[in-house]
Amino acid sequence: MNSIKCRNCGLSNFAIENECRRCGSALYGSGGRIAAKEKRARRFSVISLVIYAALAIGGYYLYQSFLKSVNEVNANDAYRVGTQPPQKPQQAGLSRTEYDRQRSSQVGNALKENPSFAAQKQHDADTQRAMQQASNSQQ
């Protein structure tokens, strides 16, 4: 066990004692070791304050980013729904299969009329011709 020697009478006392058991004099000065330990235990670190502040700012930033992305998705969905032409209700008397065939032909017609798909189809045809010419010239 740790002990501390009295400066007055020389008796070895336990380290947790504040006064000498023999003469009663103070073992530690006015700013003794026990008081210093208590001060360190109660002291608030500036570093911990900085860390808490950084975590709070980071959490707030993530929360705001999440809200912003949710609002953008909602706005895009609202725009997409608003720009779509209203769908005709299913005609009475059509079976599900007949309705699906009718709907797929409408989609197919829309794809045929799309200029970017037409340009891609033309590019594919040109590529096929060029490949055939290259393979014919090698033979």
Structure confidence by residue, pLDDT tens digits, 98-110: 888 888 888 888 8
CB 2 within 8 A of CB 13: no
Tell me the pTM: 0.33
Please provide the size of the chain in residues.
139
- Same domain for 129 and 101, yes or no, is yes
- Same domain for 73 and 109, yes or no, is no
Domain total in the chain:
3
pLDDT in tens, 2-49: 888 888 898 888 888 888 888 988 887 754 444 445 545 556 688 888
- Same domain for 98 and 138, yes or no, is yes
d(CA 70, CA 78): 12
pLDDT, mean of residues 128-137: 91
The CA-based angle 83-87-91, given to 5 degrees, is 175
Q: Closest Cα to residue 34, out of 16, 58, 54?
A: 16
DSSP 6-41: -TTT--EEETT-SB-TTT--BSS-TT-HHHHHHHHH
Question: In terms of residue numbers, what domain contains 12?
Answer: 3-42
